[in-house]
Amino acid sequence: MKILVCISHVPDTTSKINFVNGDSEFDTNGVQYVINPNDEFGLTRAIWFQEQQGAKITVVNVGGVDTEPTLRKALAIGADDAIRVNANPTDGFFVAKQLAEVVKNGNYDLVICGKESLDYNGGMVPGMLAALLNYNFVNAVTDIKVEGDQTKVARDIDGGKEIVATALPLVIGGQKGIVEEKDLRIPNMRGIMTARTKPLSVVEPVDATQTTQAVKFEKPAPKSAVKMISADNLDELISLLHNEAKVI
């Protein structure tokens, strides 16, 4: 089985977020980047298929040369090889179009995406990718089992879980639950050294229309100061909750 794991290069959640050029662009200065968490869960699940069923894992990213350390980390975790599409990921459709070309050229059986990226939270790439490829698609996946070309997939739905039986080739949008946080792999020294020698191919992008554009970003309003109220002053507490907070 050939597995392609799509990797987004996203800011660490502890990074300080700022915008430049009239709040139209993200300020990358001083920002630490990591593997998108939903993608890392998917990569770990792929490693399980590698260990248990001999699957071959390729990781792919659409981005500039600055994203290669993130791909190298994925190789250190256990992927066999990596592909970087040499393009700025301008919007979801553009990214899906580039990934679709990689899938067509590589003839992958299973494509694992995160259900959404941590930075833009668009959640559109996995579904677009499946549509472009005419592959089966299941989103919000929390478990997947593969036997031959048949799969059994669990996904979150409102109020419970749904079990879906489908066939390969398949695109999934994974999330936490496909593996748990305790199961994530931390690259060891051997993995880091081996990653340096694993293939990392750079391919040029195909033509694709940019269908959306970020016009302006706005940070949430800062939290107001905390008001301390005496435990004996119940009337003031009720008044503030009613008139200022408007929660009662």
pLDDT over 90 (residue 243)? no
* pTM score: 0.88
**pLDDT tens-digit series, residues 106-162:** 999 999 999 999 888 889 999 999 999 999 999 999 999 999 999 999 999 988 999
What superfamily in CATH does domain 2-217 come from? HUPs (3.40.50.620)
Quote the pLDDT of residue 234: 87
**Mean pLDDT along residues 226-246:** 86
User: Are the C-beta atoms of residues 118 and 101 closer than 8 Å to each other?
Assistant: no
**pLDDT tens-digit series, residues 2-37:** 999 999 999 998 888 899 998 988 898 889 999 999
Quote the pLDDT of residue 16: 87
* Mean pLDDT for all residues in the chain: 93
pLDDT classification of 244: cutoffs 50, 70, 90: confident
Range 30-35, long-range pairs (CB < 8 A, 24+ positions): 33/9, 33/66, 33/67, 33/69, 33/70, 34/10, 34/70, 35/7, 35/8, 35/9, 35/10, 35/70, 35/73, 35/74
**pLDDT tens-digit series, residues 195-232:** 999 999 999 999 998 888 888 999 888 887 888 888 88
Quote the pLDDT of residue 211: 87
**pLDDT tens-digit series, residues 171-201:** 999 999 999 999 999 999 999 999 999 999 9
pLDDT over 90 (residue 93)? yes
Most confident option among 76-80, 207-211, 235-239: 76-80
Ramachandran sector of residue 242 (left: φ over 0; alpha: ψ -120 to 50; beta: rest): alpha
pLDDT over 90 (residue 248)? no
Quote the pLDDT of residue 224: 79
Burial class (CB in 10 A: 0-12, 13-18, 19+), 189: exposed
Quote the pLDDT of residue 226: 84
